[in-house]
Structure 1
Amino acid sequence: MPGPGERIVVFGDVIDDILVRPHGPIRADTDTPAAIRQRPGGSAANVAAWLGSLGAPVDFVGIVGAGDVSSHAAALEAQGVRAHLLADPELPTGTIIVLIDENNTRTMLTERGANVRLTPDCVDDALLAGAGGVHFTGYSVFSCGGAADEEGFRRLLERAHASGAVVSVDPSSAGFLADFGVERFLTTIRGADILLPNLDEGMVLTGLEEPTSVAARLSEWFPVVALTLGAAGTIVAVAGTEPVCLPVEAALRTDSTGAGDAFSAGFLAAWLSDSGAATPLQRAVTAARAGGAAAANAIELVGGRPD
């Protein structure tokens, strides 16, 4: 189990997920029977919840609508997360409607809500002191209001490194990444130690398509890369070494919502608890296997967080 020196600070989005699985084709201008569930979500908050469920000490910083602080804090604390939630007096909590078709393909309709008010400066130095890792997602970067916020992310990386923490980033969304701008994104997160993209995000970042080439190119920019390929597994790439392909664990796929967040949590918890590994590549392979196990668990559940 991770110890106190392996505490992770997660910063980012909190969302109300509304999961919709129609019982057949959606019919226009009339009713379509469906299974509809509401769950707490948000990529960063999901990572924190999975970390807590894995026994990692974790602090989460986020923002919700003023009336939702207690409920979202309670949901996180139930998973062992120390929640530091800000209350926005004007904007509602962010919401995503997730449409899941018969092939378990997801279509997501997103309202960022109060998340657009969260800035990197909301993570104070006292919270960073003694942390082993700091994690944030592309969703928070995409909510940037301009150059000042981008500079805030660069300051967060500097402050985290000054406190002795490694910084990990999940790019989050290929579509939003393209909208935001690849060069702008890479400049904003320059200096991050660990990048945790899926293949679509890696392709957008590099302009390449072949997965091993994508991972290798990313490892020229980031010391450690774990490129997730869904059912095809994971490619681990560490700067200066050949990428390693790892198979995925077999699992019954119920809902892939949050699988990438679970992977990030498993990876980070294992990475921080395996500082004695002989090489960075061995450490990354062990971490990726732990991430894969967490993701396999996640896709057997409905929603983005552990039960």
Structure 2
Amino acid sequence: MIFSIGDIMVDAYFRLPSLLTPRTDTVGRVDLVPGGSAANFAVWVARQGAPAAFIGRVGNDFLAEALRADLAAEGVRAYLARDEELGTGRVGVVVSEGGERDMICDRRANTRLCMADIPEDDLRELGTWLHVSGYALFEEEPREAARRAMDIALEAGIPVSVDPASYGFIRDIGVDRFLRLCRGAQVFLPNRDEAMALTDMSDPDDMLLALADVFPVVALKLGADGSAGLDRTGLGCYGGCSTGHSRGRFGSHSAGRSVGRSYGGSIVHASPVQVEAVDTNGAGDAFDAGFVVEYSSGGGLEAALMRGNAMGARVAAMHGAR
């Protein structure tokens, strides 16, 4: 069973045909839909036919009940702790022409995810993979919970993937601290902005080589340019991912792109699936789900990147993250 841990939200979508006109009304569309990066991941895993479980925290309100019902309908096993003080998280998503989005996050109960919320026995006994949303790493209690889940998984030999989630939060807590929080993760799934924030580089291949000094497998999401990856195990995760290691923060990679081959693998580029993007929110979560399902079932890096691209494109071509 593929577990994910992190945020669960109700997304309020504001779709604007044009820029807001100051001091008057703007005609648009507003929708309320289930969301949250880690919850989206779980749903897209389940929609591919793989067993999925989600660990998170909600409020004691009608939004929480709607989210519980939604996960059940999607076939996701939900471990949802209930917070009696803070309401269920919500986010405002402003979608402009072309599908680009800006988000206003009000995380509420997500900020109180704690170690007591982790179903430790089920994770050990049922888990085949753990995916961590970076949002769980940016505040103290969720950070402790996410690290506890990661430690349990690693001790049990369960592979761990991390999506860094937000380059702004990485900038706020600092690169070194963020990388320490990710220690032991075998698979790292950043987008271009997050990789740039972590490496201070702009070329995708250079970013991959730098991140491969820290993570055995890196899959870089490049939006309309598809994706690229590097598997330095050369074996695939079930053939030999290590459970912990680091050669230091971005150790020697200055020898150029051939460095990837010294790891037992080379950089792989996967072409994008051509669609008309109407809303990119959640496309990265769907990419993660496609990549993890393919890679965890024994598919190679290229197949995993291609499946991730297909899943991400599917979401970008529709309204909403699911």
Q: TM-score if structure 1 supplies the norm length?
A: 0.90
For the residue of structure 2 that corresponds to 1:202, the secondary structure is helix
> Counterparts of 2:126 and 2:94 in 1: how far apart (Å)?
41
Residue number in structure 2 paired with 1:124: 119
The answer to whether the 8 A contact 1:16-1:94 is kept is yes
How far is 1:216 from its partner? 1.1
Q: Which among 102, 111, 114 is matched to residue 106 of structure 2?
A: 111
Residue number in structure 2 paired with 1:304: 321
Counterpart code for 2:200? G
> Counterparts of 1:64 and 1:85 in 2: how far apart (Å)?
7
Residue number in structure 2 paired with 1:4: none
Query: 1:138 and 2:134 equivalent?
Result: yes
The answer to whether the 8 A contact 1:235-1:245 is kept is yes
Q: Which among 193, 199, 215 is matched to residue 222 of structure 1?
A: 215
Residue number in structure 2 paired with 1:61: 55
For the residue of structure 2 that corresponds to 1:32, the secondary structure is coil
Counterpart code for 2:76? V
Q: Which among 89, 95, 100 is matched to residue 95 of structure 2?
A: 100
> Counterparts of 2:215 and 2:198 in 1: how far apart (Å)?
12
> Counterparts of 1:96 and 1:157 in 2: how far apart (Å)?
26
How far is 1:24 from its partner? 2.0
Counterpart code for 2:276? L
Residue number in structure 1 paired with 2:76: 81
Deviation readout 1:224-245 (Å, 9 max, x if unpaired):
0000000001111122132111
Deviation readout 1:167-220 (Å, 9 max, x if unpaired):
000000111111121111100111101000001000111111111100111111
Indicate the larger mover: 194-203 or 135-144: 135-144
> Counterparts of 1:197 and 1:111 in 2: how far apart (Å)?
23
- Structure 2: stretches of 5+ with no match in the other structure: 233-262
> Counterparts of 2:72 and 2:105 in 1: how far apart (Å)?
25
How far is 1:130 from its partner? 3.2
Residue number in structure 1 paired with 2:290: 266
How far is 1:264 from its partner? 0.5
Deviation readout 1:57-89 (Å, 9 max, x if unpaired):
011111111113321111112211011111111
The answer to whether the 8 A contact 2:2-2:50 is kept is yes
Counterpart code for 2:132? F
Query: 1:254 and 2:269 equivalent?
Result: no
Q: Which among 66, 75, 79 is matched to residue 71 of structure 1?
A: 66
Count residues with an aligned counterpart.
289
Q: TM-score if structure 2 supplies the norm length?
A: 0.86
The answer to whether the 8 A contact 2:217-2:230 is kept is yes
Q: Which among 7, 12, 16 is matched to residue 13 of structure 1?
A: 7
Counterpart code for 2:130? V
How far is 1:252 from its partner? 2.3
Query: 1:26 and 2:20 equivalent?
Result: yes
CA RMSD of aligned residues (A): 1.5
Counterpart code for 1:139? Y
Q: Percent identity?
A: 38
The answer to whether the 8 A contact 1:23-1:32 is kept is no
Counterpart code for 2:80? L
> Counterparts of 2:17 and 2:274 in 1: how far apart (Å)?
26
Indicate the larger mover: 114-123 or 233-242: 114-123
Counterpart code for 2:167? A
> Counterparts of 1:150 and 1:258 in 2: how far apart (Å)?
22
Cα pair distance change 1:152/1:100, threshold 3 Å: closer
Counterpart code for 1:244? V
Counterpart code for 1:27? T
Indicate the larger mover: 259-268 or 117-126: 117-126
Q: Which among 159, 174, 178 is matched to residue 166 of structure 1?
A: 159
For the residue of structure 2 that corresponds to 1:103, the secondary structure is coil
The answer to whether the 8 A contact 2:136-2:146 is kept is no
Deviation readout 1:25-65 (Å, 9 max, x if unpaired):
20122211111111110000000010111111011111111
The answer to whether the 8 A contact 1:121-1:156 is kept is no
Q: Which among 178, 183, 188 is matched to residue 171 of structure 2?
A: 178
Counterpart code for 2:155? A
